[in-house]
Amino acid sequence: MTLDLPARPPFSLRAVARSHGWFSLAPYGWDDSTESLSYVARPGSGRVVEIVIQESASGVRIQADDSLSEPEWGEIADRVAWMLGLEQDLSTFYDLARKEPKLAHLEEQAQGRILRSPTLFEDGVKTILTTNTSWAGTIRMVTALVSQYGAPLPSDPSRRAFPSPNELAATDEQTLRSEARLGYRAPFVLELARSVATGILDLESLRSPSIPTAELRKRLLAIKGIGEYAAASLLMLLGRYDFVPVDSWALNMVSHEWYEGQPIGRGEVEQAFEQWGEWKGLAYWFWDWSSASQA
């Protein structure tokens, strides 16, 4: 069975999927030959299904198991709309980007949306697993969590859904350290899972657009394991672009772009994009860094 969902133009599935490395983290998958994004989902019913998303004339077409019920389809439609930001209005950002040569291509190429996970819990865990490690390390840790704790896809048990808060809460720190090899991140992931599983933390409520950005950032920073970089990254995934996720890569790129390769700090990165106001994180994310990367 298939379901079509509209997207606010301009839209490109490839541009969203390849907006950052999430497409290469389980349970996502990207097929270049068919230009399709897959995801192993588990609706509230508990059933594990694979959804395959392709671009359509007006947005995207979702393909999934024919036996899905109407409520399951409704939930999947809501999740896909969130994951791809189908309703996001970036017109104000595009108006500004047209005036900047490093960003003027974005509207034509339908860039600007950032791929998200269906839940903030999944995005939170994955973001914690990007800290103080290489991208290969992040892939390894996410793969281990999904393969060891996620529910299997009946048609292909080698593929699994992202583990729920309850599934991760049931393990312990030592196991996460020794088997999933999360290192110092293990207690942070475990505490986040247990806080969500017990209802102490209503993480998904933070997706509400009514929460002021400053307050939202404060709540994210209150989560153990979420520092300034991780909070800025999660704000970006929540559609709040007021902060730049400053890491070693950002320091290096900004240094070569504006400071002739000299050592700089967080302040210089923030200052470089200050003029973009509420869009500064998005301007940073999609900046054309080709000249800096070749330096």
Q: Which residue has the tokens 């903030």?
A: 120
Q: Which of these, 177, 226, 176, lies nearest to 201 by C-alpha position?
A: 226
User: Which residue, of 237, 264, 282, is where some domain finishes?
Assistant: 237
216 and 143 fall within a common domain: yes
Q: What type of residue is 169?
A: A
User: How is residue 205 written in tokens?
Assistant: 């409520």
Dist CA 278 CA 286 (whole Å): 15
The 8-class DSSP code of residue 119 comes to S
- Measured on CA atoms in the order 121, 123, 124, 125, is the torsion positive or negative? positive
Taking only the tens place, the pLDDT of each residue in 21-73 is 999 999 999 999 999 999 999 999 999 999 999 999 999 999 999 899 999 99
User: How is residue 224 written in tokens?
Assistant: 């153990």
Q: Which residue has the tokens 């080698």?
A: 158
13 and 42 fall within a common domain: yes
274 and 167 fall within a common domain: no
Domain residues for 20?
Answer: 2-90
- Give the pLDDT score at 268: 97
Please count the structural domains in the chain: 3
The 8-class DSSP code of residue 260 comes to T
233 and 253 fall within a common domain: no
216 and 128 fall within a common domain: yes
Residue 137: count other Cβ atoms within 10 Å of its Cβ.
16
59 and 155 fall within a common domain: no
233 and 254 fall within a common domain: no
pLDDT > 90 fraction of the chain, expressed in percent and rounded: 97
Q: Which of these, 290, 173, 184, 257, lies nearest to 227 by C-alpha position?
A: 184
Residue 295: pLDDT band by 50, 70, 90 thresholds? low
Q: Which residues contact 267 (CB under 8 A, 6 or more apart)?
A: none
- What's the predicted TM-score (pTM) here? 0.96
- Give the pLDDT score at 292: 84
